[in-house]
Structure 1
């Protein structure tokens, strides 16, 4: 039987890395053969398939920042690898993976499925940058690629902002395996038992400063601690966050943790009272999916990705327009209403099981791979 060969191209860090590993570890290896092209400074853990067999991977100069030299080298080297491996399909993930994958797909004539995990133009903190990034996305959408969105919000952005025809868009929600066992922490626990948590590097996207301001307001009436995980990778605004913590006299109320194992992250989320996010935009955030799987309600900003997972007054609360006081009020309400908390916890687990259990959803992705190859080549 001919196996469908899929090339995955990406900058493999954070949620993008989690996404790919969940896919690789659940695709049927008797029908699909994968290899990975990723950045040479990415997470070093070996990629493995459903049988725990190592997957071939290639490392290239794929970095988050824009560099004409490195990006050109990455495209040239990726092109050589694709011509050598001859995949049936390219699945690109992340902004940089999408640029490289779609250019290589155009040059080789191989069909490309692209999953942005949040479009690049959403990261722009100026109108000029937004225009440039959005223009690049529009140009790349014209080739032989199909947008495989990670959320309904991303799907809507693709058609309304970027200009993808509806016929060239598909949806495969980010999903994970059920979390059955929680490992013991491998790092010292330096925070109190009662705490809130969030996962995300201090940067424009994650808007961590807003969470610090929310925590300040909470602590005026109710003492609470915040554990912030993942501050050590591409943390553009770490100094600003540290300065704000000191300015608001919250040093004893905030724990900043560098990147640690996924097992430690799950342990910390599982014991948190609530999961928080003040992000300005997301694809479909894995940390929130994990919190849902662990029955932890969320209070989050009403942005792309967040609002696809947290349904207001069902499994948590969403907050519009960086409303610090409303954010604070929602957290305090949920912490002090035992009945609502219990109901939201049940609904969190229900949301995960219905929409984000990859053991149930992987068949959908396998169908998409087969269908796209059939449509393109036959």
Structure 2
């Protein structure tokens, strides 16, 4: 049987990078052949398939920020790669990967499956920027692309705000492998045993400043430490976060960690009292899926992505955005009530096993790839 060749186009950082690697490492290599087109400075790690064979990769100047020259160059270079490799399908990931991949898909008439991992227009607090980004999404939704939503919330936005036709939207929840082994920390542990944690670069999206203010209220009655993982070079709100920590005199209550291996992330989440997120929006956050897999309850803002993973009073708590008092009360409750903590922990694992185990779910993605490739074959033989 001839393999289906898929070209993945993306800026390979954070959850987008995790998502791609999980896809590559779990799809059947006897049925699918993958290549990766990504940024020249986003990741230094190689990509592997399920058999631990290297996946062919190309690097083009894909960057997070809009840069006309780099973006145009990326489109031209990606077009040339696609013409050379002749894939049956393009899978674009993230906002920038989606723009490049879908434009190239239109130019080459190759169908595109696009996964936003949170729509670009959600990323700005500027009304004008939001309108521009939404217009771009609306424009590209009219091409030869299928929206592969990473959560029900993302699917609903695709239908109700971006304007995708219902037949062009498919849901495939982000998912991971069960975490059966917890490796020792590869980094030095500098924080106390009694802590909570989060994963996310200081940014408008992650709303870390609000999280710090919640912790400030908690510490008035309860002693707890916060570990923030994922503080990297694209943390545009890092100075604001550090300034607030200094202003509130909380340097001994908060640890900011740079990007680290996922095995370290698992270790830190596994030792936490609970996971916390104050994000304004998400795709379907891997850090929360990982928490569920590790039986760690979560206290999170009621936003896209978070609400698709956490069921209030079952595997954690959903809190309205910027509701400091409710966040504080639920955090203190989960820290002090062992019986409730045990119940939410058990349900966290149940949630993962039911809906977010990629070993069970990968067949659905493979079927989507197969269907979109079959549609291409049918169209080309008309």
Give the secondary-structure state (helix, strand or coil) at the position aligned to 1:239.
helix
Q: Which residue of 1 aligns with 2:4?
A: 4
Give the secondary-structure state (helix, strand or coil) at the position aligned to 2:373.
helix
Alignment of 1:1-378 (within 5 A): 1-378=1-378
Is contact 1:62–1:74 with CA below 8 Å preserved after alignment? yes
What is the TM-score normalised by the length of structure 1? 0.99
Is contact 1:298–1:317 with CA below 8 Å preserved after alignment? yes
Cα distance in 2 for residues equivalent to 1:127 and 1:172: 30
229-238 or 2-11, larger mean C-alpha shift = 229-238
Cα distance in 1 for residues equivalent to 2:149 and 2:331: 30
Give the secondary-structure state (helix, strand or coil) at the position aligned to 1:252.
coil
Cα distance in 1 for residues equivalent to 2:189 and 2:107: 51
Q: Which runs of 4+ in 1 moved over 3 A?
A: none
5+ long unaligned stretches in structure 2: none
5+ long unaligned stretches in structure 1: none
Cα distance in 2 for residues equivalent to 1:111 and 1:144: 5
1:336 to partner: Cα distance: 1.3
1:246 to partner: Cα distance: 1.0
Cα distance in 2 for residues equivalent to 1:51 and 1:377: 28
1:43 to partner: Cα distance: 1.3
Q: Which deviations, in whole Å up to 9, do the C-alpha atoms of 1:317-352 show, x marking residues without a partner?
A: 011031011101011111111111111101101111
Cα distance in 2 for residues equivalent to 1:224 and 1:30: 50
Cα distance in 1 for residues equivalent to 2:196 and 2:45: 29
Give the secondary-structure state (helix, strand or coil) at the position aligned to 1:376.
helix
Is contact 2:88–2:376 with CA below 8 Å preserved after alignment? no
**Count of aligned positions:** 378
1:203 to partner: Cα distance: 0.5
Cα distance in 2 for residues equivalent to 1:284 and 1:232: 20
Cα distance in 1 for residues equivalent to 2:216 and 2:201: 20
1:275 to partner: Cα distance: 0.3
Q: Alignment RMSD, CA only?
A: 0.6
What is the TM-score normalised by the length of structure 2? 0.98
Is contact 1:233–1:259 with CA below 8 Å preserved after alignment? no
Q: Which deviations, in whole Å up to 9, do the C-alpha atoms of 1:155-185 show, x marking residues without a partner?
A: 0000000000111000000001110101101
Give the secondary-structure state (helix, strand or coil) at the position aligned to 1:230.
strand
Give the secondary-structure state (helix, strand or coil) at the position aligned to 2:252.
helix
Cα distance in 2 for residues equivalent to 1:318 and 1:309: 10
Give the secondary-structure state (helix, strand or coil) at the position aligned to 2:265.
helix
1:374 to partner: Cα distance: 1.5
1:375 to partner: Cα distance: 2.4
Is contact 1:75–1:103 with CA below 8 Å preserved after alignment? yes
Cα distance in 2 for residues equivalent to 1:90 and 1:347: 37
Q: Which deviations, in whole Å up to 9, do the C-alpha atoms of 1:21-58 show, x marking residues without a partner?
A: 00000000000000000000111111000000000000
Q: Which deviations, in whole Å up to 9, do the C-alpha atoms of 1:259-314 show, x marking residues without a partner?
A: 11111111000000010000000000000010010000000000000110111100
Cα distance in 2 for residues equivalent to 1:323 and 1:36: 41
Is contact 2:278–2:321 with CA below 8 Å preserved after alignment? no
